[in-house]
Structure 1
Amino acid sequence: MRISQCIAPALLLLAAGAAQAASAWGFDDGSISVVAKKSAETVKEKLNQKAPLSKPVSLGNTDTLKLSLTAKDNGKGKRPHQAFLVIQEQDSGLEAPFPLTVKETGKAAVQISHKDLPIQLLLSAKPLKAFVVLASFGSAQGLSTPVFEVKIETDANAPPPAYEEPLRYGKKPEIQHVFRADAKSPPKVISLFFALAVLATLPALLIGWIYLGGNVNHLSKAIGPAPLSHATFFGSIVAMEFVFFMYYTSWNLFQTLPVIAVISAATVLSGTKALGEVQSRRLAGER
């Protein structure tokens, strides 16, 4: 009695596990119909999930292909999480999935016409394979089975659909970049004219000093307390003008900037002390 009581629950669990493992998706009441837009003629075929149709179904440019079936889980009508009619090109394996509209009872349907198919499939010379795909969460085994083939019929009077290959990322030809020639200096006549214009301001500067009462006698007084500062300050101004000349004639920007940085630092340090000495004499009343 005790042995039978132990064996019975174990057998029930094994039976339940076997039934769950044998659960699989399938379909019933499957049919396919091709409805012509310009005529009342309709081609209808029954579908079987175990074997596809023996002959391809023709789909004209004005026809509509309609598929209907009842999805079942372990023989019971049920709505799967995934339900597609997949159209596949035989040579390249290119696929186009079309989702089925499924009710809670498992009844599903989908419609396809030429405008729904990619151009690559419309240009296929061989019939296209059609698969029904049903799957869901859980332990039930999904279904992916061929059900029929579609032969695309095109209008002989209409131009074939144009197809452009998509852009693919890959190795490209090497680009030989040619840099522009370096900028040339202006004509020497123009440069000489502006140089003379700058030199012409020197007499005007000397006349201004004489008119304003410049005193050259203070030169010895200025150099006496701070000779190095005045000499460095004046020399840095001359050196900066020389750097501009070299940049204009031969140097590039990367050669010019470091030299300008060094001369600028010397100008600031020496100018602070040199101009401070001049300020001290002015404050003392010397003119």
Structure 2
Amino acid sequence: MRFTQSFAPALLVLAGVAQAASSWGFDDGTLSVVAKKGGAGVKEKITSKSPLSKPVTLGSTDTLKLVLSATDNGKGKRPHQAFLVLKQQDTGLEAPFPLTVKETGKAVVQISHKDLPVQFLLASEPLQASVVIGSFGSAKPLDTPVFSVNIETDPAIPPPAYEKPVRYGKKAEIHHIFRPDPKSPPAVISVVFALAVVAALPALFVGWLLLGANVNHLTKAIGTAPISHAAFFGSIVAMEFVFFLYFTTWNLFQALPVLIGVSTVTILSGSKALGEVQRRRLAGER
């Protein structure tokens, strides 16, 4: 029973502390729109209780200025964060503008057209302006709309261009169109290789004469190793024929397997055919 009697007053004390928790607000709010060319400006008193009933207009050469005193539970104090937030109603796009705040809570911010995003300059509806004040501790932050502003552009100046940013999402299907495979190699390459072959034939005949080639040994060579010489000579002719087909109709994937097979025959038969020629040369036959 004693515990109940002592615990009840404690609850009342805690409830009183919760009710006395401070909250952020502002006093002495003044909104002014000053024209650069000295035209008639606008000056309004604002409070955190109710926003202005009519929107103010911010022209292309005007400057919007907001002055207020941030308060914590009615006393002037510097908060950790203080912003004037402009919001586009139809898209939800927001742009915060920080207030410069002194230790006494006196805060000020100025906005002109050059400070606004392109989307705001193209907005057809008034922007909602809210004051956001908050700090560390248990004090309740403030986030309340205070006025609306209509952005007015100069009709003599073309409106700024705006392109929507690329977003991640489903895109239209891309159909790749590849070029058809070439039917023949470039003419320049064919001409270069043809001239190289033609130029090599005289050099081959001159080399045979200088080295003392003797066609009289052809019968003896074929008689000694007929399969090796026939396969070696046939593989060389076959390789030239494969190159001809590659340059005319075949592609690389068709020519490569055949070239591998022909090259294998050339290596195996050539080693035996040239070995037979070497043996005759070592024996003194010319």
TM-score normalized by structure 1?
A: 0.74
Q: Distance in 2 between matches of 1:237 and 1:225?
A: 20
Q: Distance in 2 between matches of 1:35 and 1:55?
A: 17
Asked if 2 retains the 8 angstrom alpha-carbon contact of 1:120 and 1:163, the reply is no
Q: Distance in 2 between matches of 1:47 and 1:186?
A: 80
TM-score normalized by structure 2?
A: 0.74
Deviation at 1:176, TM superposition (A): 7.2
Amino acid at match of 2:163: E
Amino acid at match of 2:67: S
Deviation at 1:146, TM superposition (A): 0.4
Q: Distance in 1 between matches of 2:32 and 2:186?
A: 83
Post-superposition Cα deviations, 1:117-155, rounded to whole Å, max 9, x if no partner, equal: 233323333322111122345554432210011123444
Matched with 1:66 is 65
Aligned-partner SS, 2:161: coil
Amino acid at match of 1:53: L
Aligned-partner SS, 2:123: coil
Matched with 2:159 is 161
Asked if 2 retains the 8 angstrom alpha-carbon contact of 1:129 and 1:148, the reply is yes
Correspondence list, 1:262-277, <5 A: 262-277=261-276
Correspondence list, 1:120-131, <5 A: 120-131=119-130
Amino acid at match of 2:213: G
| Runs of 4+, deviation exceeding 6 Å | none
Matched with 1:246 is 245
Asked if 2 retains the 8 angstrom alpha-carbon contact of 1:32 and 1:65, the reply is yes
Aligned-partner SS, 1:90: coil
Deviation at 1:174, TM superposition (A): 5.7
Deviation at 1:260, TM superposition (A): 1.8
Q: Distance in 2 between matches of 1:112 and 1:7?
A: 55
Q: Distance in 1 between matches of 2:276 and 2:173?
A: 68
Q: Could you tell which deviates more after superposition, 144-153 or 268-277?
A: 268-277
Matched with 2:177 is 177
Asked if 2 retains the 8 angstrom alpha-carbon contact of 1:119 and 1:161, the reply is no
Q: Could you tell which deviates more after superposition, 272-281 or 44-53?
A: 272-281
Report how many residues are paired.
279
Deviation at 1:63, TM superposition (A): 1.6
Deviation at 1:267, TM superposition (A): 2.6
Q: Distance in 1 between matches of 2:135 and 2:267?
A: 80
Report the CA distance shift for 1:83/1:284 in structure 2 as closer, same or farther (over 3 A): farther
Report the CA distance shift for 1:276/1:186 in structure 2 as closer, same or farther (over 3 A): same
Post-superposition Cα deviations, 1:25-73, rounded to whole Å, max 9, x if no partner, equal: 3333322111222227543222211211122222222221111223344
Matched with 2:48 is 49
Deviation at 1:277, TM superposition (A): 4.3
Report the CA distance shift for 1:227/1:59 in structure 2 as closer, same or farther (over 3 A): same
Matched with 1:100 is 99
Matched with 1:33 is 32
Asked if 2 retains the 8 angstrom alpha-carbon contact of 1:68 and 1:108, the reply is yes
Q: Could you tell which deviates more after superposition, 28-37 or 243-252?
A: 28-37
Identity of aligned residues (%): 64
Amino acid at match of 2:157: P
Matched with 1:150 is 149
Q: Distance in 2 between matches of 1:173 and 1:71?
A: 55
Deviation at 1:178, TM superposition (A): 6.8
Q: Distance in 1 between matches of 2:17 and 2:272?
A: 99
Q: Distance in 1 between matches of 2:161 and 2:141?
A: 35
